[in-house]
Amino acid sequence: MAYQLATSSGHRRCHVVCQLDRNFDRFLSPERRGFALGLNQVAAITGSFIGLILGGVLAGINWKGVFLVSVSFGIIGTIWLWSSLREVGRRNPRRIDWTGICTFRVGITAITHGIQPYDHSSQDWGNSWVISGIAGGILLLCVFVAIEKRITSPMFNMELFRIRTFSFGIFAGLLASISRGGIRFMLIIWLQGIWLPLRSYSYESTPLWAGIYFLRLRSDF
């Protein structure tokens, strides 16, 4: 259940992050966009620091409290933005690419669920759910690319990848995200499961102390 909630939350976060720059263009005048982009980065970094500590405290009390706080902040932020922002961009009415949206979302979800452990095995690559999830997700993403190259109003313009600077920038960002995310997960698991318990920290307190020790890595931002 926790994995399902975290996966769903991660998917929603991906969609929100992808829409941020577009919303800056829609709701902010050109002279305010630079400040908004910088403030958004500061808020993200500050939230990551607070989240490490607050998440550790809540996990020691009741892990469900982590989702309660996230949902509460999401609702407050949505109401605040809805009441304060006014659209200033030009409207260009287009049809919504429902086919692209569905194939992309289902494909990403299938791959995400395909790489999770099954049948109490951490590396059960022979499981039919793992194979079908990963293979089906990759197939759907290929279908998504084919759809986006043919539709008149695509969700994502694949022609942008013909621009070398754009392609290398996206690839560099992908590698940076993979390395940063990999280090984050490995260190958290190592701290909570091995390093802290070996130093007489109780398992109930390891989420908090893992967040405290992890602040050293976050300070580089």
Query: What residues does each domain of the chain span?
Result: 1-94, 98-152, 163-221
CA angle 41, 111, 66 (to 5 degrees): 50
Structure tokens at 188: 């958290």
Per residue in 65-84, pLDDT (tens digit) is 777 777 888 888 788 877 87
pTM of the predicted protein model: 0.61
Among the listed residues 16, 7, 6, the one whose alpha carbon sits nearest the alpha carbon of residue 112: 7
Per residue in 13-36, pLDDT (tens digit) is 555 565 666 666 666 777 777 787
